[in-house]
Amino acid sequence: MKLVLIDNYDSFTFNLYQLFLEFEIDVRVHRHDAVSIRDIARMRPDWICISPGPKDPRHAGISTQVVKTFQETTPILGVCLGMQVINEAYGGRTSRAPHPLHGKRCRVHHRNDPMFAGIPSPFRVARYHSLQCTQVPSALVPTAWAEDGVLMALRHERLPVWGVQFHPESFLSEFGLEIIANFLGTHPSFRLDTGLLTSEEIRFPRWLGPAVRTTALPEARP
């Protein structure tokens, strides 16, 4: 199965790429100004992810058009700037957050949306943003908030479109793998390999070497 990852020129894009690779799917990365809607349609992706990025949705290239074009047919996940893109695609606005947060860990409370299935509330996430989604349109449903009141996640009321303001791919975030698994699971043909490691079992990301289970070592014999 195939996922198209729209790169908004952000260093976190390839952290997301590596996180998706944990599920052994085909991940195609394309910069937001180097791919067309027709190109993406030809790829016939099973999922689309819109990456984080600098600035605001006006500087996210093709990203907003991607949401509007594929919203009916393809599950879409927006991360950080990607969530702001989704909000604006349906008529919302982006404004300054109360405080810029870059590399800060905070607790998030959620409303048992399928994206957070199996994840406790609250849980800890990494935030890297100075903007926030405001004036969320009626077509979008808020699903998670930080303790400072900033919106941390949303979904479309009926279409397979989700956004998270935090970074599930960051080592500072809990349950990153589970969130990605829940997103991939929105496709009816996706079957999770039960042999995959969970977040708590992974000590090192795959790109640093083989994942290692954190099971106890056998006791030494006398």
Residue 46: the pLDDT is 97
Active-site residue among 22, 88, 169, 178?
169
Domain boundaries, the chain: 2-208
pLDDT tens digit sequence for 4-23: 999 999 888 999 999 999 99
Average pLDDT for residues 63-77, to the nearest whole number? Answer: 97
Candidates 42, 117, 109, 32; CA nearest to 78 is 32
Cα 179 from Cα 195, distance rounded (Å): 17
Spell 142-169 as b/e; 16+ CB within 10 A means b.
Answer: ebbbbeeebbbbbbbeebbbbbbbbbbb
Cα 8 from Cα 155, distance rounded (Å): 21
Q: Is the pLDDT of residue 213 over 60?
A: no
106 catalytic? Reply is no
Q: ∠74-146-182 over CA atoms, to 5°?
A: 30
Q: Are 92 and 140 in contact (CB under 8 A)?
A: yes
Portion of the chain with pLDDT greater than 90, in percent = 64
Active-site residue among 32, 88, 167, 178?
167
The pTM for the full model equals 0.85
Q: Identify any residues that bridge with 156 across adjacent strands, giving them in sequence order.
A: 140
DSSP state of 157: S
Cα 45 from Cα 53, distance rounded (Å): 22
Active-site residue among 80, 110, 129, 178?
80
Q: Is 142 left (phi over 0), alpha (psi -120 to 50) or beta?
A: beta
Q: Is the pLDDT of residue 140 over 80?
A: yes
Portion of the chain with pLDDT greater than 70, in percent = 86
Residue 209: the pLDDT is 36
CA 108 to chain centre: 15
Q: Among 68-77, 95-104, 192-201, where is mean pLDDT lowest?
A: 192-201
Confidence class of residue 112 from pLDDT cuts 50, 70 and 90?
confident
80 catalytic? Reply is yes
Q: What is the largest CA-CA distance in the chain?
A: 69
Residue 193: the pLDDT is 66
169 catalytic? Reply is yes
How is the beta sheet containing 161-164 ordered, strand by strand? 26-31, 2-7, 47-50, 76-79, 161-164, 151-156, 140-146, 93-110, 123-134
DSSP state of 201: G
Q: Is the pLDDT of residue 221 over 70?
A: no
Average pLDDT for residues 135-146, to the nearest whole number? Answer: 94
Confidence class of residue 200 from pLDDT cuts 50, 70 and 90?
very low
* Domain 2-208 CATH class label: alpha beta
